[in-house]
Amino acid sequence: MDEKTRAVLEVFEEISRIPRCSKNEAAIGTWIMRLAKDRGFQGKQDKAGNIVVRVPATSGYENKSAIVLQGHLDMVCQKTPDSNHDFTKDPIRLVYDGDWLTADRTTLGADNGIGLALGLALATDDHIEHPPLELLFTVDEETGLTGANLLEQGFIEGRILLNLDSESEGVFIVGCAGGQHTEVTLPLSFLPVPENYDAWKLTAHGMRGGHSGVDIYKFRANANKILARALDAARKRAEIRILALKGGSAHNAIARDAEATFVCGPSQSSALKDAVKVFEKAVQDEYASIEQEMALTLAEEGIDEKTGLFTKECTDTAIDLMLALPHGVWEMSADLKDHVETSNNLAIVDIKGDAFHILSSQRSSVMSRLSAITAQIHAIAALAGAEVETGGGYPAWQPDMESPLLKRCKEVYQRLFGKEPMVEVIHAGLECGIIGSKYEGMDAISVGPTIENPHSPDERLYIPSVAKVLDFLAELLRSYGA
């Protein structure tokens, strides 16, 4: 590992010691503000918690326009079922494995911690020539781009934006999908648990999960949908009544695990076991090339006397809702080859009080199609007698293939590495569109090192790509002095 890469990773290691799940960014914000003060930089924090650190230009670049280096402070906090990690207080335990950096049974937080580290490393390296820099670090990106939405006029001055939240070195991102969240709420009716009924817990587990935008086209299994199908298979062989139901943990992560507790009559236990076994074999065959660890576990469960039992109607409606709501790719783009245009992630299912809640996350690069898939979810909810609410929207970032920044970036990359970079639009949410809508004349691009499986405990960072991105960014900044 070269010295430059080591310097960036040392900053990332510091960041990884600080808990920073979405909506819990106060500590990382304090750390950055202290670092800025120690270096003599001007730091400012707004009411939302967003931070801008102003870094003076190096000699000869004083009259150049400011360049904004931007990332987000929060991370998606996911862990494996056997991990005892507490994201509110424990540091991320980093694991170096050859050319890869990962974490011990949790998300790594390279999305977007490595972007923060790159920005800070560039700003604090006295050997890198650059115009005035504004390090813009936003809060709560992962749950709805909240910080970017709350940015105020005048908070930044630069009109050249380098977003550091991409996940493929050598790929320049110039556009992204818009999105919004929809919560479906089904009121429930309960009955006492009948005597002599057996309780069972059915768990769908071992799925790969992943980012609900960049991984949605990979056809990975969604544990919530697999559980729904398993319950559907079970109710065709046995009369079941649900006691509890939950799955998924983040709107922007494909659910890896889900479970349901239910009862059925003792004379139906054999039929129940057979139904689950047959379905497990069928679904494992479906996903044989993608989900090698997928499994269904059926186990007897004790019954809490205070636990309420769904009525038959509520049991059937809950299962039907999970079956009917869309998940995965909804439309491919007619204009961009092999590009997902519209999708939905059936993200979280849970019982809260006297209602069954389902959270889904819709994405599309065409805003009318985003409205269309959201309308479908509303219609399905209405047919089920459920309430529905949509919010957390953000706009698509439309690509500008004639961008002066894109032209400069391509030239610098070609000069440095002797090959053309790829230019893409992604099916994920980036803050560039929101920031551009708030600051007129913004020219933006998104870059970053290679990260695989973000938003899952399999997240990992390709270490050699860090040096390439750092070299590219340093040369790009230098080019503004020509």
Looking at the annotation, which residues are catalytic? 74, 141
- Closest among 252, 265, 255, 208 to 227, alpha carbons compared: 255
Question: What count of other Cβ atoms lies within 10 Å of the Cβ of residue 193?
Answer: 18
Q: Which stretches does DSSP call E strand in 156-257? A: 160-163, 171-176, 178-187, 190-191, 198-205, 241-247
CA dist., res. 59 & res. 64, Å (int): 11
Render the burial of 412-445: b for 16+ CB within 10 Å, e for the rest: bbeeeeeeebebbbbbbbbbbbbbbebbeebbbb
**Which DSSP symbol is given to 232?**
H
CA dist., res. 210 & res. 455, Å (int): 5
Q: How many alpha carbons fall within 13 Å on the CB side of residue 87? A: 21
CA dist., res. 353 & res. 373, Å (int): 28
**Which DSSP symbol is given to 154?**
T
Distances in Å between the alpha carbon of 144 and those of 76, 213, 225, 358?
12, 13, 23, 17
For residue 355, the SS3 value is: strand
